């Protein structure tokens, strides 16, 4: 029998928790632990030398307000009960079994880095990209730094009806002078400055009521200088089920979207550049010799009861000669070495945040929060409640957790033994100062480092050894 620990979380027996991942859900989990009445020691490990995950690498550079949440995260990180271990990856530098031996509890908050595929002929062609790769590229994610997007093409297509699809459309279309004062990476700015894209098709399989984008983001498309949004009014005719959906509070955003789309549909085509919104269409084949030249779209119709309507092919086909395509069908989490994974749902199998084995047994001391727990949905703030739920499960489990865990000293021992360069939060602050100083030269809030080696070099100026 393992030792019972009624006193876990007290001065004699601080609760030692590792949080894996430093995006919003990881920081909200740390916040929830810090706000509990427990005596805690929180160690957050992050594979990159820089924190904030989706806020740094997912939020669009022209949506700076959304990034202001990092001020809250920075405050959490400077709490004496918290320590940041940047440049430390689960599976690369430390194993799941090591963390289990070191900490009373481990909260996995690794988000969702992969993208869903279209699964159609021709998806391998040059010019076909994941929206997540484009987003990572313009936001300076190290693994996307060397990607190339051929913006010398006239016609682009974005597939998907979520906010990421809208972000991609907007960044492709926004006058570069409006992006210059953001923290967009210089390589993206240079490429966008010579972009020839003048026609963008935003394509989705369901109708205007089922589209996932939010009204604020949709409305913003209509404000892009020199561009016009084109919608075929016939697409806004709703079937009975969609009309019923609109009456439900869960579809309040859809009613607003519909109003915006009706205004777009009344536009007379007059601008030189256009964004065409297509509903009830999906690519069924991509053609080209080596490089994308043409997208074949299959018409879709909705089938099923209100709130559960799915798109099914209706037979008709049409083509659009697009040379660039970004698939934006949502993100997917990656399996983590040593931990169970639900391939079908693309998440860590869990019940309200408690990890479970394939056989449905609770994996004692292991928890998940954020996108790796519930899938890639919701806004940044959604993760707060999600993390509160996970932490409340953890707190409820305290009496059943083994007490003898060495925590931070053991982690430092293992990483020190490998002479591993740990990036402390003070090091990150030095990286951030260096990025801001680089930004000043170009009148930008920051010029991000896009290579891990550059980040580590900037960390050396922190004075922390
Ligand atoms: P999303 O909102 O889930 O949208 C994914 C889109 O892909 C949906 O239109 C979905 O259609 C479609 N899709 C999925 N699988 C498909 C398939 N096999 N074939 C065809 N279409 C498929 O995902 P997201 O745009 O990646 O955004 C992720 C989350 O981040 C969302 O919660 C979003 O609101 C948030 N976000 C927020 C902001 C912001 O606040 N400004 C910016 C970016 C992202 P169905 O509905 O038919 O499945």
How crowded is the C-beta side of 12, counted as CA atoms within 13 Å?
4
How crowded is the C-beta side of 456, counted as CA atoms within 13 Å?
12
Q: Are strands 15-20 and 40-46 parallel, antiparallel or unpaired?
A: parallel
Residues 51, 56, 60: CA angle, nearest 5 degrees: 170
Is 15-113+333-423's fold the same as 116-330's?
no
In the chain, pLDDT over 90 holds for what percent of residues?
Answer: 92
Fold of 15-113+333-423: Rossmann fold (3.40.50)
Task: For residue range 150-182, list pLDDT tens digits in order.
Answer: 999 999 999 999 999 999 999 999 999 999 999
Candidates 19, 38, 29, 85; CA nearest to 427 is 85
The protein residue with its alpha carbon nearest to ligand 1, atom 17, reads 329
Task: For residue range 362-387, list pLDDT tens digits in order.
Answer: 999 999 999 999 999 999 999 999 99
DSSP string, 322-333: -SEEEE-S-EEP
Using most ligand atoms within 8 A of CB, pick from 160, 208, 251, 312 the residue to mutate for ligand 1: 160
Candidates 254, 180, 186, 158; CA nearest to 215 is 254
pLDDT in the model for residue 465 = 54
Residue 319: helix, strand or coil by DSSP?
Answer: strand
How crowded is the C-beta side of 197, counted as CA atoms within 13 Å?
29
- Place 1 in a pLDDT band, splitting at 50, 70 and 90: very low
Give the CATH class of 116-330. Answer: alpha beta
164 within ligand 1 shell (Cβ under 6 A) = yes
For tokens 């160690």, name the residue: 43
376 within ligand 1 shell (Cβ under 6 A) = yes
Token digits of residue 267: 């536009």
- C-alpha 380/C-alpha 218 separation (Å) is 18
Task: For residue range 22-44, list pLDDT tens digits in order.
Answer: 999 999 999 999 999 999 999 99
- Distance between Cα 159 and ligand 1 center (Å): 10
Task: For residue range 331-369, list pLDDT tens digits in order.
Answer: 999 999 999 999 989 999 999 999 999 888 999 999 999
Q: Where are the domains of the chain?
A: 15-113+333-423, 116-330
Residue 346: helix, strand or coil by DSSP?
Answer: coil
8 within ligand 1 shell (Cβ under 6 A) = no
- C-alpha 15/C-alpha 40 separation (Å) is 5
- Place 4 in a pLDDT band, splitting at 50, 70 and 90: very low
pTM: 0.95
């Amino acid at each position: 029998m393992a030792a019972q620990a009624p006193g876990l979380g007290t001065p004699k027996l601080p609760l030692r928790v590792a949080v894996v991942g430093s995006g919003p859900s990881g920081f909200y989990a740390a916040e929830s632990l810090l706000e509990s009445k427990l005596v805690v020691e929180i160690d957050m490990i992050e594979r990159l030398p820089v924190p904030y995950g989706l806020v740094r690498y997912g939020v669009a550079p022209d949506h700076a307000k959304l990034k202001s949440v990092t001020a809250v995260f920075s405050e959490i990180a400077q709490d004496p009960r918290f320590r940041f271990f940047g440049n430390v990856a689960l599976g690369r530098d430390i194993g799941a079994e090591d963390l289990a031996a070191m900490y009373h509890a481990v909260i996995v908050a690794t988000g969702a880095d992969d993208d869903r595929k279209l699964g159609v002929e021709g998806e391998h062609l040059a010019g076909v990209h994941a929206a997540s790769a484009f987003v990572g590229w313009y936001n300076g994610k190290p693994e996307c730094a060397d990607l190339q997007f051929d913006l010398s093409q006239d016609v682009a297509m974005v597939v998907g009806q979520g906010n990421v699809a809208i972000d991609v459309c907007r960044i492709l279309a926004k006058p570069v002078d409006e992006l210059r004062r953001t923290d967009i990476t210089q390589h993206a700015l240079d490429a966008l400055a010579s972009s020839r894209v003048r026609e963008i098709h935003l394509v989705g399989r369901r109708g205007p009521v089922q589209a996932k984008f939010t009204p604020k983001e949709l409305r913003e498309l209509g404000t892009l200088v020199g561009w016009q949004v084109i919608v075929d009014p016939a697409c806004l005719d709703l079937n009975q089920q969609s009309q019923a959906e609109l009456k439900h509070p869960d579809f309040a955003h859809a009613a607003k979207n519909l109003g915006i789309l009706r205004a777009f549909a009344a536009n007379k085509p007059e601008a030189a550049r256009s964004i065409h919104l297509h509903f009830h269409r999906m690519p069924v084949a991509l053609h080209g010799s080596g490089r994308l030249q043409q997208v074949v779209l299959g018409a879709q119709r909705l089938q099923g009861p209100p709130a559960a309507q799915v798109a099914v092919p209706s037979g008709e086909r049409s083509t659009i000669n697009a040379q660039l395509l970004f698939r934006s069908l949502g993100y997917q989490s990656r399996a983590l070495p040593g931990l169970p994974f639900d391939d079908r749902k693309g998440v860590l199998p869990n019940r309200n945040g408690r990890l479970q084995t394939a056989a449905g047994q609770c994996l004692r001391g292991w928890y998940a929060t954020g996108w790796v727990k519930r899938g890639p949905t919701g806004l940044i703030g959604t993760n707060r409640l999600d993390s509160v739920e996970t932490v409340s499960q953890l707190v409820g489990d305290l009496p059943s957790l083994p007490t003898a865990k060495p925590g931070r000293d053991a982690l430092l021992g293992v990483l020190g033994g490998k002479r591993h360069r740990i990036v402390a939060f003070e090091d990150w602050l030095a990286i951030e100062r260096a990025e801001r100083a680089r930004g000043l030269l170009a009148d930008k809030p920051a010029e991000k480092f896009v290579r891990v080696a550059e980040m580590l070099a900037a960390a050396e100026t922190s004075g922390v050894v």
